[in-house]
Amino acid sequence: MTFARIALLLPLAFSISTLAQSRLPEGPLVIRDFTLQFNPAGTFSLSGAGWPTMTGTFAITGGDVTLQMAVVDQDCAGAGRYSFSIAGPQVSFRVVTDTCTPRRMILDNSNWLPRGVVAPRAERRITHTAGTATTPLPKPAAAAGAWPSFRGREAAGVADGQNLPDTWNPATGANILWRTPIAGLAHSSPIVWGDLVFVTSAISGKGGATFKPGLYGDGDASEDRSSHRWMLSAIDKRSGKVRWERTAAQGQPLNLRHIKSTYASASPVTDGRVVVAWFGSQGVYAYDLKGTLRWKVDLGRVDMGAYDIPSYEWGPASSPIIWNGMVIVQCDTQADSFLLALNAETGETVWQTTRDELPSWGTPTVVTTPAGPELITNASNFVRGYDPRTGRELWKLGGSSKITAPTPIFGGGLHIVASGRAPERPVFAVRPGARGDLTLAKGEDHSAQVAWSKTGRGSYMPTPLAYRGVLYVLANNGVLDAYDLSTGKEIYRQRLPLVGSGYSASPVAADGKLYLANEDGEMLVIEAGPVFKLVATNTIGESLMATPALSEGVMYVRALATLFAIGGR
């Protein structure tokens, strides 16, 4: 065939291709629980679990489709216009203009497949890089007063023997031992080992990065895509002076974040030899306690977001933990979910376990039980128990919320796991040593393996607190529930006197008192026990999303821009 003949055929081939691309499939297209149908008569329907069904007419102009609703409210009276593209079986939509919020939420940046077609899963590459250290790791520093991970050892959130003051005042300095400015934005909680407090942060290149506090349901991602620096800082816990700071990563964020979250929402963890920080798609970084980089691991891009609308990306928040010389990471994403155990000294993979899960944000917990060590994870499809030595699944329990953020805890000989998205909002109390599928039959609230459970009472963000035989469950809206830990019997239900923007930080306890911080920076001191009693209310003067750390008579509070040390003098 001559070049001239090819040149004559090219416009024809292009026009045929364009024609094929301008026709939307007639068969149903699906994303999770959503179904989108275009009919030859020029009508469409869009439906999904928990969403109103949308019907109307459509018209195609070139590579755009215009949708007009048949029955509309005021916000959806106008037409929505979307560009679309077809690659094999996949149909993708991008908004051109649309003032109808629910329609735009579902369709913008969406990728649809015919019913029964499964998108190929890209292989995840996990790469390990050695650090700059040239000497072996030293022995661990003294563990006295350690608060080594999110909510302390085994995420319990309890440290008696602190003798903390009931009141403090940053404005007057009363019972404020020191305060240290922390640059950037983070919801990660401080941890403590030896004489050091460790905090992480993400510093935006735009400066003045913000988040949106409050009780709301918006799923939007932040617009801040500027170059960031991801930082780990070590602060002297006696003086508040910065011992060292390290930039773990620098560049444009590789994952988005929710407008209420940050690019550093996962808390660091330490075993007294290494301190490890996970910055989502930017990687996992391990330093010794002198600030020397020991290793880093790139997990690839991690995409966590809305369970029903995968285009809504919210970013990670699950924190790493260290157990028996292994760093364990729970990485539940839109495409592939897994547990990963890394050698804490070298960063090399010890084991990896695939999970059939939706995105989740809870931190895993390992506890030593009479039945042996158990690794517990909270997620949407199942709460699961694993053997932490091998990553082998031991049991699973269905009935969770579609969005799970609280961390599993262990108290009174029971694993306590909660999640707070309606309608499920469960609280489960699981006996250690269980095996197999523990999912309760419809109408049942306990079994041989599940000591008790509740629906409609789980917390959305705060992790529950088991203390002196009572389980405290704090809801975002400021409702505090107290249950008998062994039976689940309700002791009291109390609306807190200060709610404000709501509660995201998890409660902690010491010496018969509970400490509950709301997002506006007000911390309530509550007397532990069967009767609700407010002891004191204190204002830190900044937004407060992180959970406090307790160590040797001092409470370390990470607020919006400051790390506070609170204690008696």
Q: What is the pLDDT of residues 369-423, one digit of tens each?
A: 999 999 999 999 999 999 999 999 999 999 999 999 999 999 999 999 999 999 9
Per the domain annotation, does 234 fall within a domain? yes
Residue ending a domain, among 114, 143, 159, is 114
Q: Is 439 exposed, middle or buried (0-12, 13-18, 19+ CB in 10 A)?
A: middle
pLDDT at residue 8 in the model = 34
Tokens standing for residue 89: 């079986």
Q: Confidence band (pLDDT; 50, 70, 90) for 5?
A: very low
Confidence label for 71 from pLDDT (cuts 50, 70 and 90): confident
Residue 509: pLDDT band by 50, 70, 90 thresholds? very high
| Same-domain pairing of 268 and 391 | yes
CA gap 296, 278 in Å, rounded: 10
**Domain end call among 63, 82, 114:** 114
Query: What's residue 21's pLDDT?
Result: 42
Q: Is the pLDDT of residue 556 over 60?
A: yes
Q: Name the percent of the chain lying above pLDDT 90.
A: 90
Residue 13: which pLDDT band, with cuts at 50, 70 and 90? very low
Mean pLDDT value across residues 486-497? 98
Q: Containing H/E element for 18? A: helix 3-21
* pLDDT for 110 beyond 80: yes
Contacts 24+ apart (CB under 8 A), 69-78: 69/100, 69/103, 72/100, 75/99, 75/100, 75/101, 76/100, 76/102, 76/103
Domain assignment present for 6:
no
CB 92, CB 121: distance < 8 Å: no
Mark whether 62 and 170 lie in a shared domain: no
Same domain for 98 and 173: no
Residue 7 resides in a domain = no
Query: What pLDDT score was predicted for residue 207?
Result: 85
Q: pLDDT-derived band of residue 29, with 50, 70 and 90 as boundaries?
A: very high
Residue 121 belongs to some domain of the structure: no
**Closest residue by Cα to residue 411 from 157, 240, 172:** 157
In this model, does residue 20 exceed pLDDT 50? no
- The reply to whether 299 and 350 lie within a common domain is yes
Residue 37: pLDDT band (50, 70, 90) is very high
Range of the domain at 275: 127-566
> What one-letter code names the amino acid at 436?
G
Q: Is residue 10 part of a domain?
A: no
Got the DSSP string for 386-448? Answer: EETTTTEEEEEE----SS--PPPEEETTEEEEE---TTT--EEEE-TT--EE-PPPTT----S
Phi, psi for 541 (deg, rounded to 5): 90, 5
Q: Are residues 161 and 216 in the same domain?
A: yes
Q: What is the mean pLDDT of residues 175-188?
A: 98
Q: What is the predicted pLDDT for the residue at 376?
A: 98
pTM (2 d.p.): 0.93
Which of 83, 114, 145 finishes a domain?
114
Cis bond leading into 102, ω under 30°? no
- Same domain? For 237 and 99 the reply is no
Q: Which residues contact 9 (CB under 8 A, 6 or more apart)?
A: none
- Identify the pLDDT of residue 141: 82
The upper half-sphere exposure of residue 241, i.e. CA atoms within 13 Å in the direction of its Cβ, equals 3
70 and 197 belong to one structural domain: no
Domain co-membership, 147 together with 91: no
- 60 and 144 both lie in a single domain: no
Q: How many residues does the chain have?
A: 569
Confidence of residue 74 (pLDDT cuts 50, 70, 90): confident
Please provide residue 18's backbone torsions phi and psi, each rounded to the nearest 5 degrees.
Answer: -65, -40
Whether the pLDDT of residue 1 is over 90: the answer is no
Number of domains in the chain: 2
Together in a domain, 399 and 347: yes
d(CA 521, CA 535): 17
Residue 3 lies in a domain: no
Can you say whether the dihedral through the CA atoms of 105, 210, 299, 193 is positive or negative?
A: negative
Residue 9, pLDDT score: 35
2 domain residue, yes or no: no
Mean pLDDT of 23-43: 94
What CATH code is carried by the domain that includes residue 52?
2.40.128
pLDDT at 308 over 60: yes
The CATH number of whichever domain residue 142 belongs to comes to 2.130.10.10
Query: Looking at residue 552, what DSSP letter applies?
Result: T
pLDDT in tens, 193-231: 999 999 999 999 998 899 999 999 889 999 999 999 999
Based on the fold, state whether residues 191 and 236 are members of the same structural domain.
Answer: yes
173 and 99 in a common domain: no
